[in-house]
Amino acid sequence: MAIRRRTGVGFGRMFAVELTAPAVHPPRTISVFVVHRVLLRRRPRATPIVPVASGGPRKIGLIASGPAGHARTVTSAHAPNTAGRHDRHTSWAAQKPTARAAPTPPPSSATPATPAELAEPAADRTVPQVDDATSAAAGKLSEALEWVERARGALYSFHQLSGRADLILGEALDALREAGHPRLAAEVRRELHGRNVLDGRWTFQIVEEYDDLYYRPFVSTEERVRALLTDGQRHVYEARMKARERSGAGRDPWAPGA
């Protein structure tokens, strides 16, 4: 009997063995296919091993393709237990122990402080090193500036009121012309529209002149006097009045609140 071996292609190794029996009449050739899977010599493609809980047979996710393209799962009762082992790709930060939280302090039975109690005490604004006569004189100058501020506000009111009147005058001219009185509208326009409120000046020019010639010099002078007499502190006279009245009523002169 003659034997010829041929190596085939497939999973593992597949041998095709042809046996020739000369004693058979007529001689015939019998082909026998022997499949030999060598798992240890040739590592098949496999999915990652997934650990399972301990106890009982463990299934290892080893998927091997067979010679005909079929897949099978290898199950072993002696496979090592990989539960609890860290993956080598796990970040070291995930393995660090978490910081222990600080203990929560026990609740306090004390009454919480009010915002007035938490606020810092206000500074004394009475400037005690300045005598009363000097404080009163500086206060008079500051009071005069306050009246100038009111006059300036009234001047700006005058400026805005005059400007509004001029706009309404323009609407009246349009109304006269649309009502069929174009000659009268033209006469009113020539007499009033665009007229100066003072000699050669509109109200915006009056405001600017007042600011430049009177208001700004008044402000700078008052600041200079305060810097010389009261260390630049404003309303010293009023601050001393406040301290006297609140102290007489049993209140802290500079405490927050009422």
Label residue 105 exposed, middle or buried (CB < 10 Å: 0-12, 13-18, 19+): exposed
Query: pLDDT band at 207, cuts 50/70/90?
Result: very high
pLDDT of res. 97:
53
Q: How far apart are CA 42 and CA 11, in angstroms?
A: 9
Q: Which two tokens stand for residue 56?
A: 């009982």
pLDDT of res. 61:
42
Half-sphere exposure of 158 (CA within 13 A, CB side): 15
Q: How far apart are CA 60 and CA 181, in angstroms?
A: 106
Query: Which amino acid is it at 29?
Result: T
Q: Which two tokens stand for residue 121?
A: 């005490």
Q: How far apart are CA 207 and CA 194, in angstroms?
A: 18
pLDDT of res. 125:
85
Residue % of the chain over a pLDDT of 90 = 43
Long-range contacts from 4-10, C-beta under 8 angstroms, 24+ separation? 8/33, 10/35, 10/67
57-71, pLDDT tens digit by residue? 444 444 444 444 444
Query: pLDDT band at 91, cuts 50/70/90?
Result: very low
Q: pLDDT averaged over the chain?
A: 73
